[in-house]
Amino acid sequence: MGKVKLNVLGISYSQTQSGAYALVLAEEEGARRIPIIVGGFEAQAIAIELEGLNPPRPLTHDLFKKFSDSFGIHLIEVNIHKLEEGVFFANVLFDNGDKEISLDARTSDAIALALRFKCPIYTTEEIVEKAGIVLDFEQASGGGEDDGANDPAISREQDLGIRKHAQRTDMSAHTVDELKAILDKAIANENYEKASEIRDEIRRRQKE
């Protein structure tokens, strides 16, 4: 089957597994979403790059990116090629200037690297058919008692917007300058989850 290109839609707290997060991928030319459960450290590595944060010390994926750049190794693409018993399998395709090398990787690590190398993420139509969901926000808002509104995967993606609204409310008492100071402190303390929330609020206000 042909490749389906995916984009990273965002990350939310998992409602089904304590201490875990739901990474939501979206097909570029379609409405289906693929939720993938990842651990806290993996979610942090992805969120930092999504939010454009600069840690005072390089994280593992940042170090790998610098190492690859230093030796002329480029990440061409990430492929999520298998879904088995709820577990996604991925490989990363590198080019060192002489040949292309495909390596096995955890899907969360592969996506964290894809964001840093700014390379495409692909999967197969079979996997999208098996794991993809199409959200019906009208139904999920109360159109029916059993129309999928309580589906955990749907709830995860809706949770992205819900939590962001709550975070904005908590930070509404601070000015932009105050938020910038809090942001710097959060980064210095390596509290990247809080830093990403503050960065979202600053960007929202600057667009108003």
> What is the mean predicted confidence (pLDDT) over 78-84?
95
The pLDDT assigned to 174 comes to 76
b (16+ CB within 10 A) / e for 146-170: eebbeeebbbbbbbeeeebeebeee
The pLDDT assigned to 184 comes to 79
The residue with greater pLDDT, 171 or 33, is: 33
Q: Where are the alpha helices (DSSP H) in the chain?
A: 40-51, 60-70, 107-117, 125-131, 137-138, 152-171, 176-188, 192-207
Domain locations along the chain: 3-207
CA-based max dimension of the chain: 58
Give 105-126 pLDDT, tens digit per residue. Answer: 999 999 999 999 999 999 999 9
Q: Does pLDDT of 15 surpass 80?
A: no
Domain 3-207 CATH assignment equals 3.40.140.80: no
The β-bridge partners of 33 are: 26, 133
Cut 0.75: pTM above it = no
Local structure of 185: helix, strand or coil:
helix
Local structure of 105: helix, strand or coil:
strand
